[in-house]
Amino acid sequence: MVQRSRGVSKQLSAGVAHLLRKNKVTVIDGQGKLAGKGKLSVEKAGKPVATLTAPHIILATGARARQLPGIEADGKLIWTYKEAMIPTAMPKSLLVIGSGAIGIEFASFYRDMGAEVTVVEVLDRVLPVEDEEISALARKAFEKQGMKIFTSTAVKGVKKGANSVTVTIEAGGKTQDITVDRVISAVGIVGNVENLGLEGTGVKIDRTHVVTDGYGRTGEPGVYAIGDLAGPPWLAHKASHEGVVCVEKIAGVADVHPMDASNIPGCTYCRPQVASVGMSEARAKAAGHEVRVGRFPFIGNGKAIALGEPEGLVKTVFDAKTGQLLGAHMIGAEVTEMIQGFTIARTLETTEAELMATVFPHPTISEAMHESILDAYGRVIHF
């Protein structure tokens, strides 16, 4: 499996390299560093490679896994996402620290592979950025699969053995030890802001990430930042779109819209899948919206039942006064493919009227999207 995944990755990387050559993009291998206004120095192995000048410089150095003090990854017993992607052997048991998208994805994958999996989350629910209702359904599904989940729980320390790790966790003033083969630390990322020559510039750093506007511009004229180095959400498709917006603005393309983070879908590739775009019900209410909420369970969808995937939910949140789609939240089979429908709807500023009048194909799981919209307005048909 690892060999196949690396093969796919290599094929895609080679494709990007080909596109760079095809489009006559010069690639210089080395460590880049700002060296004055409009200047960049490049070194490799401590030796100068090139000095470049340009009116516009885009920083896209990405991010790396955040390390917890005293629980630093060693690549053998304590993994980050990098080691978890390419294990040399299948662990029989593991503990995942953090239940965000990365932590849950690995927890779900390794559980499906047969490992005994424990998840420890310091907050009060798993997938904390998702709608509370979706988080609760996800936890129920994971526990049904045999996953052990501890929320409102802190990791107090680890003790390494020859080929195992004993993790001390604390909840409600009580501690307990859990011994596993491996630990995956998935507690967020930090931006790669070091050694970029940002000192003395107008570039501002906020919690290890470069502060930008909707076009990727920093506080230093002519210097931009995109991707994981810049602000959330830290997702590949956000980074790609951010790059397009940044470069088109530099090139003077007319009608370039600034990045709108609220219209970027989030997908978690666990089992069941989770996907969302826009505001959760709680966030919408906190923002002062009077809301109408629709729900439709997969058990009422013929395609989901036929696939043997009857556990799932589509939830939609509308502004009760304007009909604006404030947010959409899903859990279940193929929801990472379906969320784009709601993303398009939000980008087009579609209201409930157009969505209810839209014809969804049968038989598809996407019909649950339509029913959820109808349910928000008391017009659900098949439930």
Tell me if residue 183 falls in helix, strand or coil.
Answer: strand
Q: Around Cβ 18, how many Cβ atoms within 10 Å? A: 10
Tell me if residue 334 falls in helix, strand or coil.
Answer: coil
Q: Which amino acid is at 174?
A: K
Helical packing angle, 132-144 and 101-112, nearest 10°? 20
Structure token pair of residue 187: 């507690």
Backbone angles phi, psi at 167, to 5 degrees: -105, 130
**Which residues contact residue 364 at a Cβ distance below 8 angstroms, ignoring those fewer than 6 apart?**
303
Q: How far apart are CA 232 and CA 230, in angstroms?
A: 7
Q: What is the DSSP string of 107-134?
A: HHHHHHTT-EEEEE-SSSSSSTTS-HHH
Decide: 381 and 362 in contact? Cβ < 8 Å: no
Q: How far apart are CA 323 and CA 335, in angstroms?
A: 23
Structure token pair of residue 280: 């959760």
Q: Are strands 291-297 and 313-319 parallel, antiparallel or unpaired?
A: antiparallel
Q: What is the DSSP string of 46-97?
A: TEEEEEEE-S-EEE---EEE---TT----SSSEE-HHHHHS-SS--SEEEEE
Helices then strands, counting H and E runs in the chain, come out as: 10, 22
**Which residues contact residue 227 at a Cβ distance below 8 angstroms, ignoring those fewer than 6 apart?**
60, 62, 238, 239, 242, 243
Decide: 43 and 207 in contact? Cβ < 8 Å: no
Tell me if residue 362 is catalytic.
yes
Q: Are strands 182-185 and 93-97 parallel, antiparallel or unpaired?
A: parallel
Find the catalytic residue in 289, 362, 370, 382: 362
147: left (phi over 0), alpha (psi -120 to 50) or beta: beta
Query: Annotated active-site positions, please?
Result: 362
